[in-house]
Amino acid sequence: MRILVTGAAGMIGRKLGARLAADGAIAGRPIETGHLVDIAAPEPPAGGRFATLCEALDVAEPSAAAKVIAARPDVVFHLAAVVSGEAETDFDKGYAVNLDATRALFEAIRHERDRSGGVYRPRLIYASSVAVFGAPFPETIDDDFLAAPLTSYGAQKAMVELLIADYSRRGLFDGVALRLPTIVVRPGPANRAASGFFSSIIREPLSGREAILPMPDTTPLWCASPRAAVGFFVHAATLDLNRLGPRRSLTMPGFSTTVGEQIEALRRVGGDAAVRRIRRQSDESSARIVSGWPGRFAPRRALALGFSADSSFDEIVRVYLEDDHVPAVA
């Protein structure tokens, strides 16, 4: 089978590429070729047992969608996106990439399907987000709760979810939108996303560096590890999507915690010395953004379909230590 990953140089994209390279197959069907694209060319995953084409491609370019679909990939993992902060500050870019380029990809599939005489109908797996939800929330958000985003990023993700349901209902492709929790612990240098501190307060102290915590200990968090997130995509690639019926958006499982509980998990691994590297410094603008985030879901449909995530924050920290931790240089 042929696979395509957009956004393949991003944090999840890289890990997904590595996992697929290691597996070499999806649901027992060998992967023959992998096409990995991103705005800058992704690194080829180590140890891949199939031919991999890594390409720099701006999905917002008019010809990009036709180019990646021409080879008729059987599974399309669509992760490319402008992140939430940038989609908020650059209105045009957010809609151009997150909505228009995604729709162009869907249209390219529809037209390739027409050219194939109705035979081509790939599986499409989309990285959506709990950003489709906006406050006020009930204590626990169930699968029937409305999408009322409070960012342009969330609005764009929710619009694409509607497209995925409509294209799937019409049989143009077989799609699913995975609403990812906040992914922690993110490796690499701290980024400037409002949610970045949820990762940096674990990652930085464990590497002997200071981290800034702009929010109180009571701040809720719905989270999953990067390894769990990759697992969602792989599971979605193997699942019989007819079991979803017409509702093609699934809130992924996660673990509900708080900043205070995160800090206690850090203490268990790194001791008081690690916790002392967290510097509290309240930040009005982060507080405003994060207060609109949901803390607890009941993702019954995804659980019934076999999606699974980390079962504790300790496990999430352990996954970070195993997969991504860079020890402090003495």
Q: Is 196 helix (H, G, I), strand (E, B) or coil?
A: helix
Q: Is 48 helix (H, G, I), strand (E, B) or coil?
A: coil
Q: Which two tokens stand for residue 14?
A: 């890289």
- Which of residues 81 and 165 has its CB atom nearest to a copy of itself in the complex? 165
- Which of residues 150 and 269 has its CB atom nearest to a copy of itself in the complex? 150
Tell me the per-residue interface mask from 167 to 186 with a copy of itself, x by CB under 8 A, - otherwise.
--xx----------------
* Residue 313 C-beta: closest distance to a copy of itself, Å: 29
* Residue 150 C-beta: closest distance to a copy of itself, Å: 6
* Residue 138 C-beta: closest distance to a copy of itself, Å: 8
Catalytic pick among 126, 153, 167, 320: 153
Touching a copy of itself, residues 111-170 (CB under 8 A) = 134, 138, 143-150, 152, 155, 158-159, 162-163, 165-166, 169-170
At residue 261, φ and ψ (nearest 5 deg) are -70, -35
DSSP state of 54: E
- Which of residues 133 and 307 has its CB atom nearest to a copy of itself in the complex? 133
- Which of residues 219 and 251 has its CB atom nearest to a copy of itself in the complex? 251
Based on the residue annotation, tell me whether 153 is a catalytic residue of this protein: yes
- Which of residues 78 and 113 has its CB atom nearest to a copy of itself in the complex? 113
* Residue 152 C-beta: closest distance to a copy of itself, Å: 5
Touching a copy of itself, residues 260-289 (CB under 8 A) = none
- Catalogue the long-range contacts made by 298-304 (C-beta closer than 8 Å, 24 or more residues apart): 298/140, 298/141, 298/142, 298/143, 299/143, 299/250, 299/251, 299/252, 299/253, 299/254, 300/142, 300/143, 301/143, 301/244, 301/247, 301/250, 301/251, 302/250, 302/251, 302/252, 302/253, 303/253
62 lies in the site for a copy of itself, by CB under 8 A: no
Q: How many residues lie near a copy of itself (CB under 8 A)?
A: 23
Tell me the per-residue interface mask from 216 to 255 with a copy of itself, x by CB under 8 A, - otherwise.
------------------------------xx--------
Touching a copy of itself, residues 74-93 (CB under 8 A) = 91
* Residue 231 C-beta: closest distance to a copy of itself, Å: 25
* Residue 91 C-beta: closest distance to a copy of itself, Å: 7
The answer to whether 236 and 279 are in contact (CB under 8 A) is no
CA distance 65 to 68: 5
- Which of residues 72 and 111 has its CB atom nearest to a copy of itself in the complex? 111
DSSP state of 172: S
Q: How far is CA 317 from CA 183, 186, 229, 303, 313, in A?
A: 12, 11, 15, 22, 6
Tell me the per-residue interface mask from 5 to 44 with a copy of itself, x by CB under 8 A, - otherwise.
----------------------------------------
Neighbours of 31 (CB within 10 A): 21
CA distance 280 to 159: 37
Q: Is 254 helix (H, G, I), strand (E, B) or coil?
A: coil
Beta bridge partners, 30, equal: 25
* Residue 37 C-beta: closest distance to a copy of itself, Å: 25
DSSP state of 293: S
Q: Give the binding site for a copy of itself (CB under 8 A).
A: 91, 134, 138, 143-150, 152, 155, 158-159, 162-163, 165-166, 169-170, 246-247
Question: Looking at the annotation, which residues are catalytic?
Answer: 153
